[in-house]
Chain A
């Protein structure tokens, strides 16, 4: 892709990202008015009866006496600096509360992601190579279960089998230190990984089947190259291109999964914080989490698109057939 074209592409996509974030932020801001009761009541609940000073402070903080647009403008300028005010439930600074909870969720997410990649790609390749045989059918059956079994159901089953019956893993707690965490979070991570595994296996399998169908594979085999080399250096390299584009999809699936898994396993991460806050109508915390998630998903979607250009030279140099 020529330089100018590349810049135009990037500019357009970044612009779209900003517009999207603006639209979402209006929606997220509106949440304080969407909650039952007035915005003041909602923001003041928890400390009853509110002192006149507190009422005034809240009105000032959220500019509740001004127009909707002014309120939004004020809120969003603070939000970009990650100032979402104080939690209604705990009175704690929202950014601080999020930081306390983030480590566990990041650990759990990376753990699950590592599992997905470690098992998803090899299983997808295996299914493609042994097409139509037992292992292929087993992975297809697995993907039916994968799309039909949400993380909170698989989580309960894993807990029962591996914590209650076999006693291999602890049933509760997040563990302390790296290796202890690795053991404590094994079941939650597997439950989370299972939700993202099915799409990765399917993408890899489809990509691999397509790649193996190409002339250059036949030619490489005809030249007498080792089967391993043909499969991995020629087949897998090309098969993985569509897998990368599934990055945004996987992230979305895993974010939802993280909420469900943390609740299932009683883990104090960001997902559990979202549910606690939502149940308590702690809107400032919900707003912060919603904005953070939206920004993450949208950015990853953009990054996968860019990455896609980089790994596929045919697209990068504008030589794609279609």
Chain B
């Protein structure tokens, strides 16, 4: 979990000859997946149509990525599966950023008791492997996609909280905050209207960097049967179902796996690139 919040510093260590090209490609993949998530059902209207007579089969002209054991078209499920792959992480990163911003501002700006309580809570969350906590809690509560999303919001929020708290502490002594306070503005107004806008670039970068982590954590839960319900086209779920079909139609498992890696890697690189551009260091260049 701890890797999700901090920039990896990869954009800075240029990979290959054309980092611009690579970032462009990553943006292309990210936007492509977003489009599939929004309009997937129009492109592939019937992802759960079964053809039990055909059953599992390799790629063909009719089914480009073949079919799974129920004769369902893998490509159609892959396209429609983009929705659960994107929706959850969007909710997780935004929810976590919202909680993290509020708590981080509270801890950093107000300080005192609220600061120590929030810090202790974050320490507790850091001490545990987050994904295992998610498996146990989601599983015991009975599983489900939105339950998994809610638990992952709670588990990622301490990272955002600490990030925002640190940034708040850094902004607090600056002259513009002092000026606002001297004018007699109430603390809430200073924090929300004056300090917060300066944290927006950081929050955006954090949302992008957290996305890949959320995507993979959610897919892992669905893979383990704790996320989306049976029969839902979802990349994690498809991997679990296609796992036993490796000998008959490898694409049933490899295609959703490849989509997960491509999307996560693109998001990580885009997030890194954004973090660098949005930070002071990046702007100075």
Contact = CB atoms under 8 A, between A and B. Distances in A.
Whether A and B are associated in the same complex: the answer reads yes
Interface stretch (B69-77, B139-147, B194-202): B139-147
Contacts of B216: 148, 150
A256 B132 contact: yes
Contacts of A294: 128
A144 interface: yes
Interface in A138-187: 140-141, 143-145, 147-150, 152-153, 156-157, 159-160, 163-164, 171
A259 B205 CA distance: 30
Nearest to A36: B142
Nearest to B268: A148
Contacts of A286: 136, 139-140
A35 B239 CA distance: 27
Interface string A109-148: 0000000000000000000000000001100110111011
B136 A147 contact: no
Interface stretch (B84-92, B184-192, B257-265): B257-265
Interface in B120-166: 124, 127-129, 131-132, 135-137, 139-143
Contacts of A137: 13, 15-16
A34 B264 CA distance: 33
A157 B1 CA distance: 23
B interface SS class: helix
Interface stretch (B54-62, B173-181, B219-227): B219-227
A264 B135 CA distance: 15
A290 interface: yes
Contact of A140 (B10, B128, B260): B10
Interface residues of A, number: 51
A159 B245 CA distance: 12
Given A152-B220, A259-B132, A281 B239 contact: no
A20 B124 contact: yes
B10 A153 contact: no
Interface stretch (A211-219, A272-280, A313-321): A272-280
Contacts of B250: 160, 164
A252 interface: yes
B261 A153 contact: yes
A290 B243 contact: no
A283 B136 CA distance: 9
A13 to B, nearest CB: 12
Looking at A137, A143, A152, A164, the one whose CB has the most chain B CB atoms below 10 A away is: A152
Contacts of A144: 8, 10, 15, 265, 268-269
| Majority DSSP secondary structure for residues of A touching B | helix
Contact of A164 (B129, B220, B240, B246): B246
B42 interface: no
B261 A145 contact: yes
A245 to B, nearest CB: 12
Interface in A244-286: 249, 252-253, 255-256, 259-260, 263-264, 274-275, 278-279, 281, 283, 286
B141 A36 contact: yes
Interface of B: 1-3, 8, 10, 13, 15-16, 124, 127-129, 131-132, 135-137, 139-143, 212, 216, 219-220, 223-226, 239-240, 242-243, 246-247, 250, 253-254, 257, 260-261, 264-265, 267-269
Query: 7 tightest A-B contacts by CB?
Result: A278-B139, A148-B265, A252-B129, A148-B264, A153-B257, A256-B131, A149-B261
25 contacts: A36-B142, A140-B13, A143-B10, A148-B216, A149-B264, A152-B223, A156-B239, A156-B243, A156-B253, A156-B254, A163-B246, A164-B247, A171-B246, A259-B132, A259-B135, A259-B224, A260-B223, A274-B135, A275-B224, A278-B139, A279-B139, A281-B142, A286-B136, A290-B132, A294-B128
